[in-house]
Amino acid sequence: MNTKFLFATAIICALGFSNAEAQVRKTAKHQHTRIKQGVKSGELTKAETKNLVHDQKEIRQDVRIAKSDGVVTGVEKKEIRQDQRQASRKIYRKKHNDRDRN
């Protein structure tokens, strides 16, 4: 009984973590696409692009550090999501600040 319970709990936790990880990856991919589109349309200057790409690199590094010990805690997930939301707002502001590449 105890073994079955522990096994079931482990499976549920693993599914929960993989779902959260998938959401982080999906958000990162979407942000990368938005940056790429901003460059293509000329909405982002070279300096803005460099800054946004640097932010994405820091988020990837945070994810790598969180995974390094084998367990991504709730606090770590919350911080990563917060960083991604902040990066998303920054992408929007940079794309709509009336500066362009031309």
pLDDT tens for 53-67 read 999 999 999 999 998
pLDDT score of 55: 96
Give the chain's residues under pLDDT 70.
Answer: 1-2, 4-18, 102
d(CA 27, CA 84): 7
- In the three-class reduction of DSSP (H, G, I as helix; E, B as strand; rest coil), residue 2 is classed as helix
pLDDT score of 15: 53
pLDDT score of 70: 85
pTM: 0.77
d(CA 95, CA 76): 29
pLDDT score of 23: 87
Token pair 């319970």 is at which residue?
Answer: 5
Token pair 């997930």 is at which residue?
Answer: 77
Torsion sign (Cα): 62, 65, 70, 72: negative
The average confidence (pLDDT) of the chain is 86
